[in-house]
């Protein structure tokens, strides 16, 4: 038996080793997440306080609208995502790969691009386009999360119910639906969080008439300089987010317990199943409508069709609207997203390896770390950016002016997604391979290099691509933190849309179309590299 140190049991030694390895992700979360968020909480409880804000009727109007539009969008995403989940999980039909990629594109599009795509269809904005845009953005979450479990639900129970005389609908509601409940609950909680903290979509489509907690925090910070009021609203939002995260975490754990079920082979649809397949294709067609509308809008001018908006990206817009050219902003976006992806890969892969090691040795700390890593997904990016503004000056050299600040903020958003892609693949590695390598004298690092890395390499590349496109389009925190002389493309798009002039509008739509092309290309590459059991996204 290997020597693990005086007074340490054979099981305790590895646990301590893996717990020590967890210091990197914990330090990253502590400095760039917990500290800014706790500063917001302290500010909200400090000057001005939360109670005066809670006593105002308009605060509860904001809360009501935030939760109402999120609930509506979540319900719509569930209804439209279920047929797509069925097609991806159970059906062997032509074009299934196209469907998988098509539903993924909206999820990784920048929120400001999604907002402008729907503004091309609804120029005046309003509640309906906000709900539709948020649902459009999140159909992929439902399709991937529910479809991942649906592919593992044993068909024999459903076939037995049918043999006993149950109709297809009765068999689905009494046998299949209860089995899918954990995945549906998990997907619903994630979609609700994304919709409740949606920023770019509401900012573009809501205007001054319809505001959520997210856009109100931005307004109070940037335009009204009401820091205590913004902090109080952030605290209210944070409390709601924590409640939803707890519910979602419970649902996710139930879903993960169901994953060891066998993967059922796909088959040709029969009978009424073709109706569900048609519904799935209809959903995909509706998802493509705003995308096509955005491209058309980028080419349409008062004088006919023109590429003037694309050509104008080499300049600074009408009457010098921008501090830099659109092309400079695009290059800055690429540099920033690359840096963010590198940081997120380092932290995310280390986190996934540590979680596998901790769970392999039965440590309770694994669940705590996993939940902590998911927290940035549920906390408002605007709140996070606000927190950076009031804390990062305490780091050496006033870190608020550092060019690394935006990549670090983006990496915080990307890291949980990378963990969710890589972690299931590492869990699926046969433990006997690791044990055989260790028996032959391989160190833990060599075991990872020779066993885990080759098996997980495709997922790592897919995670890097996925992280890059998400960082490329991040808008909430970046809108707070990007320096005027180094904006990213989503920030430039928002600025162009806030200024008058047809050329500015054309440039904004052209920039959106370019971002959409890059995003679509990245999704197609990711789908080719994707491992079938490689996580939710």
What confidence score (pLDDT) does residue 235 get?
Answer: 76
pLDDT > 70? residue 197: yes
Most confident by average pLDDT, 65-79, 98-112, 393-407: 65-79
Please enumerate in sequence order all residues whose Cβ is within 8 A of that of 506, keeping only pairs 6 or more positions apart, or say none.
Answer: 298, 301, 306, 308, 309, 312
Whether 164 contacts 225, CB under 8 Å = no
Cα–Cα distance between 171 and 153 in angstroms, integer? 13
Q: What is the pLDDT of residues 352-388, one digit of tens each?
A: 888 887 777 666 677 778 778 877 876 777 778 878 8
Which of 38-42, 290-294, 448-452 is predicted with the least confidence, judged by mean pLDDT? Answer: 448-452
Q: Supply the mean pLDDT for the chain.
A: 80
Q: What is the mean pLDDT of residues 87-108?
A: 82
Please enumerate in sequence order all residues whose Cβ is within 8 A of that of 284, keeping only pairs 6 or more positions apart, or say none.
Answer: 84, 98, 99, 102, 103
Q: What is the dihedral of CA 3, 7, 12, 16, to 10 degrees?
A: -90
The Cβ of residue 436 has, within 10 Å, a number of other Cβ atoms equal to 13
What confidence score (pLDDT) does residue 251 get?
Answer: 58
Whether 369 contacts 351, CB under 8 Å = yes
Inter-axis angle of helices 177-196 and 57-90, nearest 10: 140
pLDDT > 70? residue 63: yes
Q: In CATH terms, is domain 62-291 a member of 1.10.3720.10?
A: yes
Most confident by average pLDDT, 39-48, 99-108, 395-404: 99-108
Please state the pTM of the whole predicted model: 0.78
pLDDT > 50? residue 1: no
What confidence score (pLDDT) does residue 21 get?
Answer: 73
- Separation in Å, CA 425 to CA 47, 420, 421, 457, 470: 48, 9, 7, 10, 21
pLDDT confidence band for 12 (50 / 70 / 90): low
* Residue closest to 535 by CA, chosen among 422, 376, 414: 422
Q: Which has more pLDDT, 228 or 531?
A: 228
Q: What is the mean pLDDT of residues 144-164?
A: 80
What confidence score (pLDDT) does residue 263 get?
Answer: 56
Please enumerate in sequence order all residues whose Cβ is within 8 A of that of 398, keeping only pairs 6 or more positions apart, or say none.
Answer: 392
pLDDT > 70? residue 18: no
Residue ranges matching CATH 1.10.3720.10 in the chain:
11-47+315-537, 62-291
Q: What is the mean pLDDT of residues 323-347?
A: 91
Longest dimension (CA), the chain: 82
Cα–Cα distance between 385 and 380 in angstroms, integer? 9
The Cβ of residue 200 has, within 10 Å, a number of other Cβ atoms equal to 28
pLDDT > 70? residue 108: yes
What confidence score (pLDDT) does residue 322 get?
Answer: 84
Whether 196 contacts 66, CB under 8 Å = yes
What confidence score (pLDDT) does residue 2 get?
Answer: 43
Please enumerate in sequence order all residues whose Cβ is within 8 A of that of 73, keeping only pairs 6 or more positions apart, or say none.
Answer: 130, 131, 132, 134, 135, 138, 191, 195
Q: What is the pLDDT of residues 418-461, one digit of tens each?
A: 888 888 777 777 677 777 777 777 776 677 677 777 777 777 88
Please enumerate in sequence order all residues whose Cβ is within 8 A of that of 406, keeping only pairs 6 or more positions apart, or say none.
Answer: 336, 340, 477, 478, 481, 482, 488
pLDDT confidence band for 341 (50 / 70 / 90): very high
Q: Specify the CATH number of the domain 11-47+315-537.
A: 1.10.3720.10
- Report percent pLDDT > 70 for the chain: 87
Which of 33-42, 249-258, 287-296 is predicted with the least confidence, judged by mean pLDDT? Answer: 249-258
């Amino acid at each position: 038996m290997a020597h693990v140190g005086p007074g340490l049991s054979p099981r305790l030694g590895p646990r301590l080793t893996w717990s020590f390895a967890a210091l990197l992700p914990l330090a990253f979360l502590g400095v760039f997440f917990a500290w800014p968020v706790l500063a917001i909480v302290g500010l909200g409880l400090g000057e001005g306080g939360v109670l005066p804000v809670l006593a105002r009727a308009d605060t509860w109007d904001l809360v009501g609208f935030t939760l109402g539009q999120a609930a509506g969008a979540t319900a719509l995403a569930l209804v439209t995502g279920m047929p797509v989940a069925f097609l991806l999980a159970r059906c062997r039909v032509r074009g299934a790969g196209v469907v998988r990629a098509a539903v993924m594109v909206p999820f990784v599009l920048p929120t400001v691009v999604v907002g402008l795509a729907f503004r091309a269809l609804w120029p005046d904005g309003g509640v309906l386009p906000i709900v539709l845009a948020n649902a459009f953005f999140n159909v992929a979450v439902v399709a991937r999360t529910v479809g991942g479990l649906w592919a593992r639900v044993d068909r024999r129970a459903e076939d037995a119910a049918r043999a006993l005389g149950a109709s297809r609908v009765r068999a689905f509601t009494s046998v299949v639906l209860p089995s899918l409940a954990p995945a549906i609950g998990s997907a619903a909680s994630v979609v609700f969080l994304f919709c409740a903290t949606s920023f770019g979509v509401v900012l573009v489509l809501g205007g001054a008439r319809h505001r959520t907690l997210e856009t109100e925090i931005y307004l109070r910070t940037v335009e009204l300089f009401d820091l205590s009021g913004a902090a109080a609203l952030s605290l209210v939002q944070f409390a709601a987010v924590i409640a939803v995260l707890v519910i979602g975490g419970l649902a996710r754990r139930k879903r993960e317990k169901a994953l060891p079920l066998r993967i059922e082979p796909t088959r040709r649809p029969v009978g009424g199943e073709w109706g569900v397949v048609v519904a799935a294709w209809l959903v995909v067609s509706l998802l493509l409508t705003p995308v096509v509308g955005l491209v058309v809008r980028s080419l349409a001018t008062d004088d006919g069709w023109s590429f003037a908006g694309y050509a104008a990206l080499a300049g600074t817009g009408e009457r010098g609207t921008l501090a830099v050219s659109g092309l400079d902003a695009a290059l800055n976006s690429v540099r920033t997203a690359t840096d963010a992806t590198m940081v997120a890969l380092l932290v995310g892969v280390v986190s996934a390896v540590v979680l596998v090691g901790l769970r392999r040795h039965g440590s309770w700390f694994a669940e705590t770390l996993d939940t902590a890593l998911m927290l940035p997904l549920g906390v408002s990016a605007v709140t996070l950016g606000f927190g950076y503004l009031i804390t990062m000056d305490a780091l050496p050299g006033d870190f608020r002016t550092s060019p690394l600040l935006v990549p670090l903020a983006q990496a915080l958003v990307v890291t949980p997604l990378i963990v969710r892609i890589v972690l299931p693949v590492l869990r699926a590695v046969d433990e006997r391979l690791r044990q055989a390598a260790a028996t032959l004298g391989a160190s833990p690092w060599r075991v990872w290099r020779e066993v885990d890395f080759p098996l997980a390499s495709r997922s790592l590349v897919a995670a890097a691509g996925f992280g890059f496109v998400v960082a490329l389009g991040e808008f909430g925190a970046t809108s707070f933190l990007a320096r005027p002389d180094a904006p990213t493309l989503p920030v430039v798009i928002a600025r162009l849309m806030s200024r008058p002039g047809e050329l500015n509008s054309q440039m904004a739509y052209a920039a959106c179309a370019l971002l959409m092309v890059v995003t679509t290309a990245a999704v197609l590459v990711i789908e080719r590299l994707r491992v079938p059991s490689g996580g939710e996204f």
